[in-house]
Amino acid sequence: MNIQTIKSVDGQKFVLLPESCYIGLKSQIDEFLAKEEEDDDEYVPFVLEEFVKNPVALARIKAGVTQKELAKIMGDTQGYISQLENNTNVSAEAMLKVTKALKNCPPRRPKNAQTDDTKRAG
């Protein structure tokens, strides 16, 4: 029997085999794939810092404010905040200005959060 292998761009190997062999092995393949799917269901927590590298964007997102809201508090434009967030290097002066502005920001509650009053009423 002639079995051919193929290697993908990322290095993963695949095997081509006759359909009759595949049909004979299908139940074992299905069991193997089902077990792999169970292993893939492991919860992996989302860590914002792994996805957002800019300190201005990170601070703003953690504070729960939009670029427009931060700009208003700082007395700047949304475009300026966008420029800060798209820079790879943020000056200490700019970061200090953002930090001070975010400290003056009222804390925001997620949209689905309940107040104490609504909890008692429900």
pLDDT, tens digit, for every residue of 29-63?
A: 888 888 776 666 677 788 888 889 899 999 999 99
- Residue 86 in any domain: the answer is yes
- Residue 80 in any domain: the answer is yes
- Residue 41 in any domain: the answer is no
- Residue 78 in any domain: the answer is yes
- Residue 108 in any domain: the answer is no
79 is written with which tokens?
Answer: 């475009």
Q: Which of 1-5, 49-53, 74-78, 92-96 has the lowest mean pLDDT?
A: 1-5
The distance in angstroms from the start CA to the end CA of the chain is: 69
Q: What CATH number does the domain containing 78 carry?
A: 1.10.260.40
- Residue 83 in any domain: the answer is yes
DSSP 32: H
Domain limits for position 85: 53-103
Cα Rg, the chain, nearest whole Å: 26
Side-chain-side CA neighbours of 70 within 13 Å: the count stands at 28
pTM above 0.85, yes or no: no
Domain count, the chain: 1
- Residue 60 in any domain: the answer is yes
- Residue 96 in any domain: the answer is yes
